[in-house]
Chains A and B, each alone.
Chain A
Amino acid sequence: MAAKDDLGKRGEDLAAQFLADAGYTVIDRNWRCARGEIDLVARDGNDTVFVEVKTRSSTAFGHPFEAITAQKLARLKRLANAWCDAHPYRRGVIRIDAISVIASAGRAPLIEHLRRVF
């Protein structure tokens, strides 16, 4: 596994833990279909929340949120639709959130959560 994949995996673990601590129920991780992958799917009360997790080891090349572009969000929306098609019993209010993880070596990771970004 390449270092960057390792970091991404670690960020997703941290994000899932962060959501669980915040009272969400993580119901799916790394769900794949032909069009791509959703990092996390969680349940927050009645909402089904699709979460894009972006992890970086520093902000030298910009904040992780800055890397979430409009195209990426549009793809996430299509993926969310695909997920709903695949899980028809899970209908409800859907939501797209973003979580950034800045995991510098030797420091506690910094996690930020933005709700309803799209």
Chain B
Amino acid sequence: MATTQTKTAARFMMSPAILLLLGWMIIPLSMTIWFSFQRYNLLMPGTEEWAGWLNYRYFLTDPAFFSAMANTLLLVGGVLFVTVVGGVLFGLLLDQAIYGQGIVRILVIAPFFVMPTVSALVWKNMFMNPVNGLFAWIAKLFGFAPFDFLAHAPLFSVTMIVAWSWLPFATLILLTALQSLDSEQKEAAEMDGAGPVSVFIYITLPHLARAITVVVLIETIFLLSVFAEILVTTNGGPGYDSTNLTYLVYSQALLTFDVGGASAGGIIAVILANIVAVFLVRIVGKNLES
């Protein structure tokens, strides 16, 4: 039991870390908010002045903003779908006793350790390249015209690349969840007349619900800010076809040098992320209770 004294002491001792973290967050945030209300373009130094809501109006009425929003949601949703479904299937496979289990598991986890820029480059040049890529070679082998993934299905391609690097994470979490499933429960279900599919639907999936929520929550946080894969492969294009919010903010700030506009975009992204977070935390909180 914590007494009043120990609580006070604990708060006192935690305060340096908390204050540091708070400053770490609050200073950049307030600077961004300040910049977002400024007319601040790096190409026109010395003309900084108070701009009011102009930057926000400009950013929110930009047609690129809406496609970026849609792309962000599609990217996050697509990657979540692929990693959760794929993670469950891989988890089920890896849960079986097989020869060379340890090596197979390491191989499956490996993509997670590849840096985003590197994995995107590998995919771009070695797999999806319409001339030299592996997919093009396979297409030609069967007599089809090679498909230029990054030009014709840019968002899909980026989704695949990101999903590839996040699949191991989902697999790992779901595999450990699978391993914690009581084997007597499966046996009981078997004796109750449930076939493999029924066991999966009625026993395994409900058992995995918690782990799946954790995967969704953690991945969403990171996937809202996917950037490197887009920069390396499509540069947000063609047009705005693979531009997400993060990339839009980047292009605003460092391609058109409009710091004020980019800051406004950044603040909008923060607000959107928080809306998503509130919903997610509610759902997850409900699921993690009991």
Determine if chain A interacts with chain B.
no
The interface of chain A, by Cβ under 8 A from chain B, is none
